[in-house]
Chain A
Amino acid sequence: MILLVARVGEDIIPSGGTVLQVGDELQVLAPPEFVAAGRLVFAVAE
């Protein structure tokens, strides 16, 4: 799994200890079938 977290005004923060805030942008690289199954939505946005 490759996860990038972007925060407005800052560089990409790769640390797993980064506490997510409202407005943070998560970009996850995933295979298409994984996306189609909606599993990322379940993992992140539920």
Chain B
Amino acid sequence: MEMGLGAAFGYFGGKALAWTINHIRLQWEGLYPVLSIALVLLLFAVCSKLHGNGFLAVYAAGLVVSGSNVLHGRSLLVFHDGLAWLLQITMFLTLGLQVYPSQLWAVAGAGVLVAIFLIAVARPLSVLAALAPFRFGVREKLFVGWAGLRGAAPIILATIAVTSGVPHSQTIFHLVFFVAALSVAVQGTTLDKMAKWLGVLQVGVTEKNVPAATAVNSDKQPVKFTVAAGSWADGKRVMDLRLPKAF
């Protein structure tokens, strides 16, 4: 029920968010990121108040908006990307302050065993099962299995045990932190080597990531139009031009 409500709020909230951004006509471009943040917080609050999953709602809304043609989409993407990095750094810093290095040594032995099991057995098996319906090759699945364990989510979940007063919660927290840190050290530093070894490394960049300045030197040629009186483009927004999304 909670997840369903969150997904529904996310889908319709995302549609509403994209529509609002495209129609509100703010004078300054810098206000659009502020607007998007405000709408996301509003969506989270309303969904949570109605006992839906607010996190799922804002996540799904983000997916919907990213798939929509949104005004100032590029600057919104850059802003939210920077904000996400800032929050991740803040989160890791805060989590790091909860850890006592002296207690890490106490869980090191068990931590290594748990990490080996997760990296070599649990994660690859779960990835193979989850990706079974999709047409990925075995090498790609193995790479996904190698790429995914590290991260802050397990540590944050472990903090729930601490705040809930679960017995031995400090040990659990330090064990999870140790495993995550080991995963970063082992998997995080060998991702590119593993990609090369498995033969899944793709060379080059997608067209969307090519800055305009470098694209000038590509095989594209500039075509110039002047908006004439009474033409279709007269009075239209640039984003409303019926240009194809991709060549």
Chain A residues with a Cβ under 8 A of chain B = 1-5, 14-32, 34-35, 39-46
Contacts and interface: CB of A to CB of B under 8 A. Distances in A.
A14 B29 CA distance: 11
Q: What 4 pairs between A and B have smallest CB-CB spacing? A: A16-B239, A29-B220, A26-B225, A24-B227
A27 B155 CA distance: 50
B237 A16 contact: yes
Contact of B222 (A14, A21, A27): A27
Interface of B: 25, 29, 71-74, 212, 215-216, 218-229, 231-239, 241-247
Contacts of A46: 231-232
A42 to B, nearest CB: 8
A44 B72 contact: no
A6 B25 CA distance: 21
Given A26-B226, A43-B243, 11 more contacts: A17-B238, A22-B229, A25-B225, A26-B224, A26-B233, A30-B223, A31-B220, A32-B221, A40-B225, A45-B231, A45-B232
Contacts of B231: 45-46
Nearest to A7: B227
Nearest to A13: B238
B227 A2 contact: no
Contacts of B242: 42-43
A15 B238 contact: yes
B239 A17 contact: yes
A25 B73 contact: no
9 contacts: A1-B243, A17-B25, A19-B236, A28-B223, A31-B220, A41-B225, A43-B241, A43-B242, A45-B225
Nearest to A29: B220
B212 A20 contact: no
Contact of A31 (B74, B212, B221, B225): B221
Contact of B238 (A20, A31, A45): A20
A39 B232 CA distance: 14
Contacts of A43: 241-244
A30 B247 contact: yes
A22 B227 contact: yes
Nearest to B216: A29
Contacts of A20: 227, 233-238
